[in-house]
Amino acid sequence: MDKQEHVKCLIIGSGPAGYTAAIYAARADMKPVMVAGLQPGGQLTITTEVENYPGYPKGIQGPEMMEDFRKQAERFGTDIRWSYVSSVDFSKAPYKVVVDEKTTILADSVIIATGASAKWLGLPSEERLNGFGVSACAVCDGYFFRTQDVAIVGGGDTAAEEASYLAKLCKKVYMLVRKDELRASKAMQNRVFNTPNIELIYNAETKEILGEKAVEGVKIYNTKTKEEKVLSVTGFFVAIGHQPNTDIFKGMLDMDEQGYLKTIPGSSRTNIQGVFACGDAQDKIYRQAVTAAGSGCMAALDAERYLSAQGLH
């Protein structure tokens, strides 16, 4: 039997966008309920030092920062549920949101802050060895490979940052870049170039990750010279970008071809009135904690105006 609860404002996701929306919604007395999702705190919980978030002059660890966000949201009465949203029905208001595949919540307004997740190469060997030497989070798993040789694929800021992180723990880090240049910012590139135990391999395509029960090596192909070679590594890290966590909204909300939710410019409004989107789920350009937080604030203000206009708040 469905157990139904009716809330004014339901927030899906608990990264900087979700928590900021919660702080604003709670202070506006919208009595927000937040469904925190499978990775409470979001991507910042798998990062280390955050040095560019205003208000932390000495920097802060990502997980600690998200704890601060959580405490601030709870201080004003946000009701946080440590569960996940399994499906939604936005065909009519109040909107139906199913939590943990069993509990239905009816919501007058919904704020989507589901963020984004790491992308994978899509190789069968990558899937088979995931958790056995293959990882998409150097900060989470790098420790297991200290004093060993590892490879990381990607040429963006994430790959550069994670390669530098791994270089502190590992003996050698091969950075596999598919083009003949890095996409990472100049500052991050310089950090990589100045780290002696990072070896950049350009024009590298990963053919296969080798090993039966754990990673033993990686077979790479040089797209210029057409040469194949095997690197002996015990860890293989993937850092090739992210995809938005928006699958459960497919067919219901407008999104672009990559799945990023479309919002009406200058607002957090989606194509369904009363449903708002913020953070990385709708932003493929900036993707920063501070921009996510800013858009979370917008979503709460938009939701408050919507509820007032509907006579629901």
Structure tokens at 297: 């604030």
Provide the mask over 239-278, with x wherever binding to ligand NDP is found by CB under 6 A and - wherever it is not: -xxx------------------------------------
User: Does 137 participate in catalysis according to the annotation?
Assistant: yes
Distance CA 250, CA 233 (A): 39
User: What is the total count of residues that contact ligand NDP (CB under 6 A)?
Assistant: 16
Minimal distance in Å, beta carbon 231 to ligand NDP?
15
Interface with ligand NDP includes 153 (CB under 6 A)? yes
**Strand 33-35 to 228-231 pairing:** unpaired
Please pick, from the candidates 126, 141, 149, 161, the single residue that binds ligand NDP as defined by CB under 6 A: 161
Nearer to ligand NDP, 32 or 279 (CB): 279
Residues 6+ apart with CB under 8 A from 299: 17, 21, 111, 113, 268, 276, 277, 278
Distance CA 258, CA 131 (A): 26
Residues 6+ apart with CB under 8 A from 119: 136, 238, 240, 241, 242, 243
Q: Point out which span in 15-23, 89-97, 151-159, 304-312 binds ligand NDP (CB under 6 A).
A: 151-159
Minimal distance in Å, beta carbon 283 to ligand NDP?
10
Nearer to ligand NDP, 60 or 300 (CB): 60
Running DSSP on this structure, what letter comes out for residue 248? G
User: Does 141 participate in catalysis according to the annotation?
Assistant: yes
For the four alpha carbons of 57, 59, 63 and 64, in that order, the dihedral sign comes to negative
Provide the annotated active-site residues. 137, 140-141
Question: Which residue ranges make up the site for ligand NDP (CB under 6 A)?
Answer: 121, 153-159, 161, 178-179, 183, 240-242, 287
